[in-house]
Amino acid sequence: MFKKHKLPVHLFLIFEKLNLLYWTATPNKPNYAFTFWPTSAIIPLAKVISSEVVLSNATLVEASAIDTSNFFMNFTDLDVFTKEIKLIFFYLFHFYFISYRLFFCFSSTGNAVSFESAYPNANWLERETSEMYGLFIYNKSDNRNLLLDYTFTEHPLLKSYPCAGFNEVFYNPLEECTAYYANGSVEL
Could you tell me the residue ranges of all domains in the chain? 9-147
How does pLDDT run across 75-128, given as a tens digit for each residue?
555 655 556 667 888 999 988 877 888 888 887 766 788 888 888 889 999 999
Q: What is the pTM of this model?
A: 0.74
DSSP one-letter code for 53: T
How does pLDDT run across 29-44, given as a tens digit for each residue?
777 888 888 777 788 8
Mean pLDDT of 66-75: 70
In order, the DSSP letters of 132-169 are: HH--EEES-S----SSS-TT--S-TTSTTS-TT-SEEE
The residues, ordered by sequence, that sit 6+ positions from 166 with a Cβ below 8 Å of its Cβ are 154, 182, 183
Residues shown for the chain: 188
- How far apart CA 54 and CA 40 sit, in angstroms, is 23
Domain made up of 9-147: CATH architecture: 2-Layer Sandwich (3.30)
DSSP one-letter code for 21: -
Q: What is the separation of C-alpha 97 from the centre of its chain, rounded to a whole number of angstroms? A: 24
Q: Where are the alpha helices (DSSP H) in the chain?
A: 9-15, 42-51, 79-82, 122-133
